[in-house]
Every structure is written in C-alpha cells, then in structure tokens.
Amino acid sequence: MPELPEVETTRRGVEPWSLGQQVVAVDVRERRLRWPIPLDLAQCLQGQYIGAVERRAKYLLFHTVAGSLLVHLGMSGSLRVIRDASPPMRHDHVDIRFGSGDCLRFNDPRRFGCMLWLQPGEQHPLLQHLGPEPLSPGFSGALLYRQSRGRRAPVKTFLMDGRIVVGVGNIYANEALFLAGIHPQRPAGRIALARYEVLAGHVRQVLSSAITQGGTTLRDFVGGDGKPGYFAQQLLVYGRGGQACKRCSRPLREARLAQRTTVYCVACQR
C-alpha cells in the first residue's frame, strides 16, 4: 500500500501540472471504487481552477473555490500526469483533463482507492480524528510518551495508529524502530520519554529520506511522474527477514503484529 512518502511523492509529482489549471472535463470510466465515485463529480469539478494540492495523512486534496477533490490511492492506485493522447488502459478509471491539454489519470487495479468530493469547509469523516503529521512541529517524542501511558499494545502497533500520528505505515515503522533500537513488541506504555524522543527523530529521518528518494517501490507503486521510488535500496530490516542484520550480522527475525509483517533484530532492539 502506498504510504506517506509515496503519497507525498505523488503530490509533488502532480502539483506542478495541476496548480492553477482549469478542469475542462472529467471522464469517469469506473465508479465502483472502495466508495462509489459521486455521480455529479464531473459537474462539481468542471470549470474549476486547482488552487492548491495538499496531502493530509495518506489522502490527497485538490482544492478549488467550489470544493475539494479527495483522493486515496488505496492498495495499488496511482495518479499520473498524462501529457499526450495515450489511450486509457484497463484499470485507468478516471481522467481529469485540464485546459493545458494535460490530464491526471487515476489507475487502481484493486479498486480499493477512492475519489470523493467535499463541499467548502466540510470535514469529511475520513479526515476526522487524525493525529499530527510526523514532519510537522506538532509531532514529538513527548507527544508519543504522553499518548502511550497506560497502553499495553506493542509499540509498533501504537506507532502505526493514525489517531496518534498519521502516515507511519508498516515499512517505515519497521525502519524507525530498528534505528531507535526499540523492540517492536515492547509495550508502548513501558518505553521511557528519552527513548520516544529518539524514536520520533528517526521517524522524521526515515520519512524525509524516503520522500527525498521518491518513496519505496513495492509491487505497483510509481510516483506522479510514472517513475518508481528508490528508497527500497536502503531498507535495513523490512523485507529482510532471515538475512544478516547490517549492524551485528545476526539473522533478522520476522513476526506478525496486527497482521502486518514485522522484521527486527533481537540483539540490536530491546
């Protein structure tokens, strides 16, 4: 599933081609996504100018005076800039065409993504109750420490809870916990403030590095320009279960936490 760096990479990829552009047409070829695309989406968007392209957690928001288009990439979706007359392929469900001649093409083979319309000022349920952005001033080790008190859940599960902090998906939780030397199964409420401060720093470091390098290429993901991300080349633990730890050379262990693959080093993470 595209995580925060992949979604931010997509935002940065499509923003230069979308910002200030007028929507001249919206072609919807398949409405049956995770939630049906509104029947009046074309009517809402057509004629509007894109005033801003924002990311909130793993959602993209295309703001206009009349409202905002909310896009989620789901498990396998992508949003690409099409600058020629390339015909749509099988899973290209939506084209948003601009006066410039370019278009945004939404592709989603598994149809777990969404494309919804928000009225001005509307607070959609999908965006309610979200925690702070991990790269914002509102995120810190002190925040993690406060929110973790009394919690028995594993720290990895806690870190991936979007009500605590948004966008720290499975890949990056594995990596940040390894760098911080924290065992992913350790109860969140039994971790000291100093360790959470270290963890918060590594969360920011890992996500920033992944964004800089265009995200992590896993199966279907490509950025808004159609190019894959390259952060996978630097993964220290994720996807490396059974291989040697790059710090101590012991075999990395693999487990399942909340139905997600978890890879860690028993020597380096306590």
CATH assignment at residue 83:
3.20.190.10
In a domain, 133, yes or no: no
User: Same domain, yes or no, for 116 and 151?
Assistant: no
Closest to 156 (Cα-Cα) out of 75, 251, 259: 259
Domain count, the chain: 2
Domain identity same for 73 and 34: yes
Is 30 marked active-site?
no
The pLDDT value recorded for residue 213 is: 81
Supply φ then ψ for residue 225, to 5 degrees.
-95, 5
85 Cβ neighbours under 8 A, 6+ residues apart: none
Catalytic residue among 3, 8, 15, 175: 3
The answer to whether 3 is a known catalytic residue is yes
Does some domain include residue 136?
no
Pair (26, 118) in one structural domain: yes
pLDDT of the residue at 233: 55
Binding residues for DNA: 91, 110, 151
Catalytic member of 11, 58, 105, 156: 58
Out of 74, 95, 127, a domain closes at: 127
Q: Which of 99, 127, 155 is the last residue of a domain?
A: 127
Q: Let me know if residue 78 belongs to a domain.
A: yes
Binding positions: 91, 110, 151
> Is the CB of residue 146 less than 8 Å from the CB of residue 190?
no
Amino acid identity, residue 185? Q
Catalytic residue among 12, 186, 204, 260: 260
For residue 135, being part of any structural domain is answered with no
114/152 same-domain check: no
pLDDT attached to residue 232? 57
Strand residue runs (E) in the chain: 23-28, 52-56, 59-64, 67-72, 78-82, 92-98, 103-107, 114-118, 253-257, 260-264
Per-residue pLDDT of the chain in tens (270 residues, 90 and over written 9):
678 888 998 999 899 999 999 999 999 999 999 999 999 999 999 999 999 999 999 999 999 999 999 999 998 899 999 998 899 999 999 999 999 999 999 999 999 999 999 999 998 999 999 999 999 999 999 999 999 999 999 999 999 999 999 999 999 999 999 999 999 999 999 999 999 999 999 999 999 998 888 755 433 344 455 554 445 557 999 999 999 999 999 999 999 998 999 999 999 999
Pair 57, 160 in one domain: no
Domain identity same for 150 and 110: no
Q: What is the CATH number of the domain that holds 220?
A: 1.10.8.50
pTM: 0.88
- Residue 2 known to be catalytic: yes
Q: 145 and 120 in one domain?
A: no
Domain identity same for 122 and 145: no
Q: Name beta bridge partners: 104.
A: 81, 96
The answer on 250 and 172 residing in a single domain is yes
Range of the domain at 92: 4-127
> Is 58 among the residues known to form the active site?
yes
Q: What is the pLDDT of residue 227?
A: 52
Do 10 and 120 belong to one domain? yes
pLDDT of residue 219: 39
For position 194, what pLDDT does the model report? 98
Q: What is the pLDDT of residue 231?
A: 54
Task: Show which of 103, 127, 151 is a domain's final residue.
Answer: 127
